[in-house]
Amino acid sequence: MRKDNTELRERLYAFALNIVEFVKFLPRNWVTLEIGKQLLHSGTSVDANYEEACGAFSKADFVYKLNVAFKEAKESNYWLRLLKDSHVVTGTRIGQLIQESKEIRNILGTGVETAKKGKK
């Protein structure tokens, strides 16, 4: 239904890959196992839901799937911040992922608002 945005698709896929790599190397303990599962789910779901939005059958379906991707980006940002602020993970990589999740969240949030305004 929607015009393909190759640059955003590539960025979201790269984010998902980075989340997979990040979670693989988390310290092994019960805290990181639980948070890692949540982060892996939300971080890869951003791109999966955006892909579904790009194949939406209607404007309402597009808005719904885009909004799900936005919410998953927000959730990913939460888990990343929790890992950092609890001092489970330190370093520049976590900061980069937090920044990227914020930017993705903002892009998708703007997209949701724009798509909603186009609805009657």
Q: Which of 114, 79, 77 is nearest to 99 (CA)?
A: 77
Tell me the two tokens of residue 25: 């190397």
CATH at 38: 1.20.1440.60
State in Å, rounded, how far the first CA of the chain is from the last one: 17
pLDDT tens track of the chain, all 120 residues? 445 589 999 999 999 999 999 999 999 999 999 999 999 999 999 999 999 999 999 999 999 999 999 999 999 999 999 999 999 999 999 999 999 999 999 999 999 999 998 754
Q: Is residue 24 part of a domain?
A: yes
pTM: 0.91
Q: Is residue 1 part of a domain?
A: no
Give the SS3 label for residue 34.
helix
Number of C-alpha atoms within 13 angstroms, CB side, residue 28?
Answer: 1
Q: Is residue 31 part of a domain?
A: yes
Domain span holding position 98 = 6-117
Please state the domain count of the chain.
1
